[in-house]
């Protein structure tokens, strides 16, 4: 099923697909007592997308795989989880994505700057461990108030993200600012 979805996106003209790994994180998988499978599931989800991307790539048109990392359901800023625990879990996910063939890591739908930092730094740790370096993209969610869910203004988010050395910063999900 997932392979067919990736194929449909590429055949419709997409240059890149996201892996089916948005929920492959400590809080989501921990709720089902399978957090020890983060790396394996991230690898498998990435490998499926990589296989289709390689099959449909041509010498004139590359196809890319973005390893999707979602925020999970427990936010460190609110004390739901410990920063080091989620950072280490994001490291495991990134190791799976790197081994599975991701071209970039997309840390998306971030509502908590501490969670975003854990995902980015976990990804960087994985790259250092594997010796394979790929771009890291981040997306934050902004409400109609112009702030993230926990109240951070977009300017503060940019200031917090910039020193992390991400390759791209974007917005996704939520209702967005009014203008």
In the chain, where are the structural domains located? 2-171
Q: How many helices (H) and strands (E) does the chain have?
A: 6, 5
State the alpha helices, DSSP H only, in 31-179.
38-56, 83-100, 113-130, 154-161
pLDDT at 9: 98
Q: The pTM is what?
A: 0.94
Long-range contacts: 71-74, Cβ < 8 Å, 24+? 71/25, 71/108, 71/109, 71/110, 71/111, 71/112, 71/115, 71/119, 72/23, 72/25, 72/26, 72/27, 72/28, 72/115, 73/27, 73/28, 73/31, 74/26, 74/27
pLDDT at 177: 62
Q: Which parts of the chain register pLDDT below 70?
A: 176-179
Residue 31 near residue 24, CB atoms below 8 Å? no
pLDDT at 178: 62
Give pLDDT tens digits for 72-92: 999 999 999 999 999 999 999
The Cα–Cα gap between 86 and 100 comes to 21
Whole-Å CA distances, 81 to 12, 23, 179: 40, 16, 34
Give pLDDT tens digits for 14-45: 999 999 999 999 999 999 999 999 999 999 99
2-171 topology per CATH: TIM Barrel (3.20.20)
Nearest to 104, CA basis, from 130, 141, 133: 133
pLDDT at 174: 75
């Amino acid at each position: 099923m997932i392979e067919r979805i990736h194929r449909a996106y590429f055949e419709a003209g997409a240059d890149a697909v996201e892996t089916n790994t948005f929920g492959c994180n400590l809080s989501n998988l921990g709720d089902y007592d399978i957090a020890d499978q983060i790396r394996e599931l991230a690898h498998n989800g990435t490998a499926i997308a990589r296989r289709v991307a390689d099959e449909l790539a041509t010498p004139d048109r590359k196809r890319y795989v973005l390893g999707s990392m979602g925020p999970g359901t427990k936010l460190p800023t609110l004390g739901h989880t410990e920063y080091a625990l989620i950072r280490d879990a994001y490291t495991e996910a990134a190791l799976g994505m790197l081994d599975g063939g991701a071209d970039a890591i997309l840390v998306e739908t971030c509502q908590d700057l501490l969670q975003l930092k854990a995902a980015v730094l976990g990804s960087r740790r994985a790259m250092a461990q594997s010796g394979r370096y790929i771009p890291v993209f981040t997306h934050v969610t902004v409400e109609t108030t112009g702030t993230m869910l926990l109240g951070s203004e977009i300017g503060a988010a940019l200031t917090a993200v910039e020193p992390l050395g991400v390759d791209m910063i974007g917005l996704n999900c939520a209702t967005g600012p009014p203008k």
